[in-house]
Homo-oligomer: A and B are copies of this chain.
Amino acid sequence: MTTISPPSVIDGNRRADLIRVSARLFRDRGYDGTTIRDIADAVGMRSGSPFYHFKSKQEILAAVMEEGLLSCLPAVERIVGGELPPRQKFQALVRAHLETVLAEGHDFIPVLLYDWRALSPGLREGIVALRDRYDRVWQVAITELKQAGLIKSDSKVARLLLMGAINFSVQWYQPGKGCTLDELAEEAVGMFLL
């Protein structure tokens, strides 16, 4: 009796490997600073082989961003759909967001934040739809804060300023140096809420 793994599963593993190491390399060196050869080396392939799994380098970038959004959406949607009181709900949302942006090994969303411009317009559409879903979760949370009197404005600009403050931490936060993610979440919530 032979044990044969279905090709689709093998392919799925290698494809997932490529996405994961590409995320790390893109995060560290940027999309343009990473070559197909870097990616192939990191998974133990030859330089032409990634194109067996992806049509182009651009499609790897799109896959990294899509993977990042798909894997972090359920958590934030569960938080905002849950029953916590407004302040605690917002704190949980900020904490979850910080996790996806700053935690070690979480390279997907930083790639989205750093290299959005590098993604060709044709491939942006699908990612934009997921980004919109993510933004909508935040808008709902902020509206609840407004209704609870914890914030002055729940405008779109208010949301962009809030998310910007947190997203920009990707440019300065260093894990293990300075504050922890819990402390950062607490300071952020303390600063933004009345």
Residues of A within 8 A of B (CB): 29-30, 32-33, 114, 116-118, 151-153, 155, 157-158, 160-169, 171-172, 178-179, 184, 187-188, 190-192, 194
Contacts and interface: CB of A to CB of B under 8 A. Distances in A.
Max chain B Cβ within 10 angstroms of own Cβ: one of A30, A162, A188, A191: A191
26 contacts: A32-B32, A151-B191, A153-B187, A153-B191, A157-B178, A157-B179, A158-B187, A158-B191, A160-B168, A160-B169, A160-B172, A161-B165, A161-B166, A161-B169, A161-B187, A161-B188, A162-B191, A163-B168, A164-B165, A164-B166, A164-B168, A164-B169, A164-B172, A167-B168, A168-B168, A194-B194
Copy number of this protein in the oligomer?
A: 2
Given A32-B32, A33-B32, A184 B157 contact: yes
Contacts of A114: 117
Contacts of A192: 191
A188 B159 CA distance: 11
A29 B120 CA distance: 12
A182 to B, nearest CB: 13
A168 B101 CA distance: 14
Contact of A118 (B30, B162, B190): B30
A162 B190 CA distance: 13
Contacts of A166: 161, 164
A118 B152 CA distance: 38
B187 A155 contact: yes
Nearest to A162: B165
